[in-house]
Amino acid sequence: MKILICSLFLAQISFAQMSIETVSEVGVTIEASPNSTFVIKKVQPASPAFNAGLKENDLITSVKRDSNSEPIQIAEKSLEEVVNLLKGPKGSLLALELLRHPAKDLKKVTLVRSDTLKK
């Protein structure tokens, strides 16, 4: 197991074929699995993700970094690339497309990034 701490208070824990990373500006912990999917493993209470209605086991399919950008499909991205897409300045918009389990309904949510949340 390796732990890496960055200035934006991101912790990365890598296992054999799986990685987990917390994006504190959004309030989610995401997991990258070997089949290139990105699943929300934890939603921090009172976070932008919580307030936008994100739930554990939602599958992130695309990220729109701000109101002026096009949605970016993330299926072939690395965990680091996805985390960088999710991060942004306080007060900036982030739009996500999600598949919600078990029905796999496509949901579009928009949230406003906050300051780095305390753990």
Question: Predicted confidence band at 24 (pLDDT cuts at 50, 70, 90)?
Answer: confident
Neighbours of 85 (CB within 10 A): 20
Q: Residue 117 falls within a domain, yes or no?
A: no
Q: Residue 118 falls within a domain, yes or no?
A: no
C-alpha to C-alpha distance for 1 and 68, rounded to whole angstroms = 38
Residue 118: per-residue pLDDT: 53
Q: Residue 44 falls within a domain, yes or no?
A: yes
Q: Which residues contact 108 (CB under 8 A, 6 or more apart)?
A: 95, 96, 97, 98
Averaged confidence pLDDT in the chain: 81
Q: Residue 119 falls within a domain, yes or no?
A: no
Report the number of distinct structural domains present in the chain. 1
- Res 18 pLDDT > 60: no
Residue 117: per-residue pLDDT: 57
Residue 17: per-residue pLDDT: 37
Q: Tokens for 110?
A: 């928009």
Assign residue 68 the CATH number of its domain.
Answer: 2.30.42.10
> In this predicted model, what pLDDT tens digit does every residue of 38-85 receive, in sequence order?
999 999 999 999 999 999 999 999 999 888 889 999 988 999 999 999
Contact status, residue 98 vs residue 39, Cβ threshold 8 Å: no
Q: Which residues contact 10 (CB under 8 A, 6 or more apart)?
A: 4, 21, 22, 23, 24, 83
Domain of residue 47: give its range.
3-112
C-alpha to C-alpha distance for 46 and 23, rounded to whole angstroms = 14
